[in-house]
Amino acid sequence: MEKAHKQILFKVQKDIYNLGNSKAIILPAQVLDLLEIEGGSPVTLTVEQGKHGKFIAIFKKPQTEE
């Protein structure tokens, strides 16, 4: 079976900010444009383990739980 090829479309380093009892990352407009989302759009975040460590994936539409 052939592995899926991943392509990095945009890479940026960001700081994590305190926002009350939560944390926040401000995404550049370019990222929102690539994902075709805007402020207030519903998204799903997953924390995954990859070959090079943990990462966050952002999905445009909410995903159903498996």
Report the sign of the C-alpha dihedral through residues 15, 17, 22, 25, in that order.
Answer: negative
Return d(Cα 29, Cα 14) in angstroms, integer: 13
What phi, psi does 35 have (nearest 5°)? -85, -10
Q: What are 14-51's pLDDT values in tens digits?
A: 999 999 999 999 999 998 998 889 888 899 999 999 88
Domain ranges for the chain, please list them.
17-59
What phi, psi does 65 have (nearest 5°)? -70, 145
Tokens 């550049």 correspond to what residue? Answer: 28
Q: What is the DSSP letter of 61?
A: S
For the whole model, what pTM was predicted?
A: 0.64
